[in-house]
Amino acid sequence: MKASLSTLALIAAVAFAQDRCDAQYPNVYCNTTDVLAFESYDCKPFHIFLARGSDEPYPGRQGNLTRQICSRLGGEDQCGYENIEYPAKSTAWGKEEWCKSAAQGAANGQAQFSGYAQNCPNSKLILLGFSQGASVAQDVLGGGGGQVFECSQATNPPLNSTVGEQVVAAVTFGAVARSKNQNFTVGDGKPYDGTRARTTDQLASLSKYSDRLQDYCHFGDPICAIGSEPQDLDAHLNYFILHNEEVLDWVVQKAKTPKAAPAQDGNASQTGGASSIAFTGLGPVMVLFGTMVFFAL
């Protein structure tokens, strides 16, 4: 396992281009103007939190899927997204950097969820995450932390349950920290743990979202399905070729399902306005060599 991870960290390279964004080209970062038009902190009926993968620029490979979801949910007036602000640093930056990055992502993600939910209590919240971002997304919901790669990630608690009630759908792709044989896992990587399995407590908290969570993992993915052979980098990168349409349909169906009646406390109201959140994360970082960006996990 150590050799394959080292190989990924050193040689996984993908072409970088800013003028295209299409599900058929998952190695292109989806930061085009038609995607960025949906970025918003305003209160809307639907709001997506997006956790990008290691060393991706915002919003990363999931940008096109995000645009498609918002378009199906009524366009810019009805749906917006925000990036979970975190460094998304890979192991290529140093053996401690992945863990520090993921811990920041979990902390900032929970702060962003809480800030938006407080300002917009009637909004339905959606969470998407890929690779390191998939691990961060699961950390946000169920708590995270522990030994992974060659470092130890600081622990964080689960998302506040009141905020969690506003989450209507969450989808993760190729998560670093994930556990095998969960009823919310999709794909033939189900019988395998990720680079590390989640703790019993983390998994118990995450399982509370099992009716709203889909965790995609392919057989052969060297990050989310350790022990599935042969390992293939394409199995980690082609989620958005193979699954965009089914994920789109599932998220939209979940988002449009009427919410259960809340408890009678007499205090719920829509306040509107943008959320005010302090971030501890750093800006996005890429390492470019000519026309290539080196993508490490």
Among 195-199, 231-235, 285-289, the minimum mean pLDDT is found in 285-289
pTM above 0.85, yes or no: no
pLDDT, one tens digit per residue, over 123-182 is 999 999 999 999 999 999 999 999 999 999 999 999 999 999 999 999 999 999 999 999
Q: Quick one: pLDDT band at residue 23, thresholds 50, 70, 90?
A: very low
Q: What is the pLDDT of residues 260-294, one digit of tens each?
A: 655 554 444 444 444 434 444 433 333 333 333 33
* Residue 70 domain flag: yes
CB-neighbour burial class of residue 276 (10 A; exposed 0-12, middle 13-18, buried 19+): exposed
Asked whether residue 253 is assigned to any structural domain, the reply reads: yes
Asked if residue 115 belongs to a domain, the reply is yes
Kindly report the CATH number assigned to the domain that includes residue 36. Answer: 3.40.50.1820
Give the residue numbers spanning the domain of 51: 2-257
For the beta carbon of residue 53, count every other beta carbon within 10 angstroms: 27
pLDDT in tens, 69-100: 999 999 999 999 999 999 999 999 999 999 99
Higher pLDDT pick, 272 / 116? 116
Domain membership of residue 282 (yes or no) is no
Q: Inform me whether the pLDDT recorded for 46 exceeds 90.
A: yes
Is residue 35 situated within a structural domain? yes
Give percent of the chain above pLDDT 90: 75
**How many independent structural domains does the chain possess?**
1
